[in-house]
Amino acid sequence: MPFYKLSKDALLETFDDGGLVLVLPERRLVELNPSAVEIVKLLDGQRSPEQVASEIAKNHDISNDYPVKHIIQDVLELCMELDRTGVLELQPNLQESVE
| Tens of pLDDT, residues 48-70 | 999 999 999 888 887 666 778 88
Instruction: Tally the domains of the chain.
Output: 1
Which CATH number does the domain housing residue 47 bear? 3.90.930
Kindly report the number of other CB atoms within 10 A of residue 37's CB atom.
19
pLDDT band at 93 (very low <50, low <70, confident <90, very high): low
State the amino acid at position 64 in one-letter form: N
Cα 36 to Cα 74: distance, rounded to the nearest angstrom: 10
Kindly report the number of other CB atoms within 10 A of residue 80's CB atom.
14
Residue of higher predicted confidence among 93 and 91: 91
pLDDT band at 96 (very low <50, low <70, confident <90, very high): very low
Element (H, E) at 23: strand 18-23
Domain that holds residue 73: 4-98
State the amino acid at position 22 in one-letter form: L
Residue of higher predicted confidence among 23 and 59: 23
